[in-house]
Amino acid sequence: MLAYTVKRLFTLIPTLLAASILVFLFVHLIPGDPAAILLGDTATPEEIAQLSAEMGFDRPLWIQYFLWLGNVLQGDLGISIFFREPVLAVIGSGAETSILLASMTMFWIILIGLPIGVLSATKHGTWVDQITSSGAMLAASMPTFWLGLYLIMIFSVTLGWFPSSGFPSLSDDGGITNLRYLILPSLTLAAPNAALIVRLVRASMLDVAREDHVRTARAKGLHPARVTIKHVFRNALIAVAAAFGFTFAALISEAVVTETVFSLPGIGRLVVQSILRRDYPVIQGVILVIVVLYMIINLLVDLAYARLDPRVSLK
Amino acid sequence: MALLEVENLEIAVSTQRNLLPVVQGVSFTVDENETLGIVGESGCGKSLTSLAIMGLLGTSPVRITGGSIHFDGMNLLALSERERRAIMGNRMAMIFQEPMTSLNPVYRIGDQIVENLRQHQNLSHAAARDRSVELLSLVRIPDPSERIDSFPHQMSGGQRQRVMIAMALSCDPKLLIADEPTTALDVTVQKEVLDLMADLQSRMGTAIVLISHDLGVIAETCDKVAVMYRGKIAEAASTADLFAELLHPYTRGLLNSIPVVDRDVEWLEAIPGRVPTLEETLTGCAFQPRCELATELCACEAPQTTQFKPGHSVQCHFAGQDRS
């Protein structure tokens, strides 16, 4: 397991390099002088020339890339044009919100998605299955911005149960109770993804239930619930684990929308605002961080996959 | 009273419109220490009969519509699901055709045997594990104390079928149902598995119902034989009687289809035609469209089971007659 993990970490290097080239070219592929774009319409030619020299835009592209890469490897993602602060610090300030939001979302996805999926599969063909399946279909097809606004209307405006926007840090007044700010956003984010998991758990459990070894388990005289959980669900989890990698990718793009709807000071909203402010160093930095995170999550998914399925060899 | 008594068993598939009968009026008995072979082509109802005895038809659209199954003095069809489960894997066990897929791929084989043991016997995990090692050595798995921690994919098909046998025998069942246990195996491994089953039977006195499409396997291992054709028993007798005198033209056709190695032929013998599908309603004998002896009588009237000789029954208007 350890050897495999180390080996997989090494195979991440070429992928990361490729990603870094794409991220670097992001600014340079935009037509025109990057310095002029960075400074906006009101900049004078002198200012543009000065920034060009400052940022090294006058040097050959490949030299610029290696200088940038060298900085990135030392943890220096550049300086935010808007905040006048290191990009890493800017991203770090949004990290708490985003990490908490993602964790709560995953919590809902597992808490809602798995049991309803199992229920839907065990009761398949009955009205229970029809209700859960159509509910899942509805949740999966609802746009997050719409669902978010609806939840705000019902639970914040009308019922007043949860705050509608913002998120004070856990270290501020209120401490752990500040998590209530994240309940609606995390439910918004979780809904379509939990629905996906419901459908996946249902489909793969129905597949597994047809397999010969399930008949063997029944022939042992085991209780049907034991057959369902220990034999059917356990095998169905293999396919579900693989989907969690994709769920994470979906979460990133949906988080951008959700954090905007709920005005959460997270990384998703930072991206949107940085695009509006043309703060390219921040956009570059966030993309790079997301790429690295995505690869780490997928590595974890692969490791989980190997734990769940003994036929997958870690060599 | 015999250990297993199946009487007039009727099984049907329910479709959206109606019930299609797949097994009709099947009766047989099996005594302790006896092996009954059920032989027939695919789709003749032999596997469904075995699943019905075992209680594995479950929630499928296939259900028992008539008849009775008595096992060890109990009317199985009158038992609650819970009482039924107490028998399954315990006093009655089953092994299946597909050793490659019949074991759960994510659990070690030892855990799968232990699960069966602890379901029915009040054993500690350690005791069940010791017993599992014994069972593995009983079915001649080399290094059983090591192999007990193997996953199914680390074993060959023959070894997996041995594991299935070990699991089935773990609670000393009185009846073992083997549905095509050797069909998926190499010929040499087939022989080993059949010998193993015969050996275990002579030691434990287990009754065996062996389902096969292979008359050769049946001839070698069974005390008596029931030949099934489209849901009915066409001919039944002790193995010796049956092969001494093949009464039903279908049984003769099955036997003739076995290639003989030292005879040089251009075409292998086969029974012409195909088994009528379930949707086709038949008024006469189900085998009549393929039968060389068929007359108008066969087309209008289904033959009843007749005792041709004591212990040798047949369903044919022209039982024992040759084409002449």
Token pair belonging to B243? 């092969």
Question: Is residue A314 within 8 angstroms of chain B, CB to CB?
Answer: no
pLDDT beyond 80 at A29: no
B270 SS3 class = coil
Q: Hey, are the CB atoms on A221 and B120 less than 8 Å from each other?
A: yes
**Distance, CA of A224 to CA of B124 (rounded, Å):** 23
Distances (CA, A) of B128 to A30, A53, B85, B122: 70, 77, 20, 9
Using only C-alpha atoms, chain A has a radius of gyration, in whole angstroms, of 24
B4-91+171-314, CATH topology level: Rossmann fold (3.40.50)
Question: Is residue A227 within 8 angstroms of chain B, CB to CB?
Answer: no
- Closest of B252, B297, B289 to residue B270, by C-alpha: B252
Token pair belonging to B72? 């060890």
Q: Choose among A218, A222, A308: nearest Cβ to B58.
A: A218
Q: Hey, are the CB atoms on A219 and B98 less than 8 Å from each other?
A: no
pLDDT band for position A284 (cuts 50, 70, 90): confident
Residues of chain B with pLDDT under 70: 59, 323-324
Which residue on chain B is closest to A221 by alpha carbon? B85
Give the mean pLDDT of A18-24.
87
Q: Per-residue pLDDT tens for A172-217?
A: 776 777 777 888 888 888 888 899 999 999 999 999 998 999 999 9
Question: Is residue A311 within 8 angstroms of chain B, CB to CB?
Answer: yes
Question: Residues B224, B236: contact at Cβ < 8 Å?
Answer: yes
Q: What is the pLDDT of residue B173?
A: 92
Q: Are strands B207-212 and B175-179 parallel, antiparallel or unpaired?
A: parallel
**Distance, CA of B135 to CA of B151 (rounded, Å):** 17
Q: What is the pLDDT of residue A119?
A: 93
Instruction: Using an 8 Å CB-CB cutoff, list chain A residues near B115.
Output: 220, 222
**Distance, CA of B285 to CA of B291 (rounded, Å):** 10
pLDDT beyond 80 at A107: yes
What percent of chain A clears pLDDT 90, i.e. is strictly above it? 19
Question: What's the whole-number average pLDDT of chain A?
Answer: 84
Q: Per-residue pLDDT tens for B191-215?
A: 888 888 888 888 888 999 999 988 8
Q: Choose among A220, A308, A310: nearest Cβ to B119.
A: A220
Question: Is residue B90 within 8 angstroms of chain A, CB to CB?
Answer: yes
Q: Hey, are the CB atoms on A219 and B94 less than 8 Å from each other?
A: yes
DSSP conformation class of A77: -
Q: What is the pLDDT of residue A32?
A: 66
Q: What is the pLDDT of residue A100?
A: 86
Q: How many C-beta neighbours within 10 Å does residue A212 have?
A: 16
List the domain boundaries for chain B.
4-91+171-314, 105-170
- Closest of B61, B76, B62, B57 to residue B7, by C-alpha: B76
Which residue on chain A is closest to B114 by alpha carbon? A220
pLDDT band for position A315 (cuts 50, 70, 90): low
Q: Hey, are the CB atoms on B106 and A234 less than 8 Å from each other?
A: yes
pLDDT band for position A124 (cuts 50, 70, 90): confident
DSSP conformation class of B3: S
Give the mean pLDDT of A205-231.
92
Q: What is the pLDDT of residue A201?
A: 93
Q: Which domains does chain A have, with CATH numbers?
A: 95-280 (1.10.3720.10)
B234 SS3 class = strand
Question: Is residue B56 within 8 angstroms of chain A, CB to CB?
Answer: yes
pLDDT beyond 90 at A222: yes
pLDDT beyond 80 at A125: yes
Question: Residues B169, B200: contact at Cβ < 8 Å?
Answer: yes
Distances (CA, A) of A39 to A33, A36, A82, A271, A277: 10, 5, 10, 18, 10
Percent composition of chain B: helix, strand, coil (DSSP 3-state, to 5): 35, 25, 40
Q: Per-residue pLDDT tens for A39-97?
A: 777 778 888 888 777 777 777 888 888 888 888 888 888 888 788 888 888 888 888 88
Give the mean pLDDT of A114-130.
91
Q: What is the pLDDT of residue B18?
A: 83
Q: How many C-beta neighbours within 10 Å does residue A177 have?
A: 9
Q: What is the pLDDT of residue B207?
A: 94
Q: What is the pLDDT of residue B38?
A: 94
Q: Per-residue pLDDT tens for A236-265?
A: 998 888 887 778 777 877 888 888 888 888
Q: Hey, are the CB atoms on A235 and B56 less than 8 Å from each other?
A: no
Give the mean pLDDT of A1-15.
82
Tally C-beta pairs within 8 A across A and B. 65
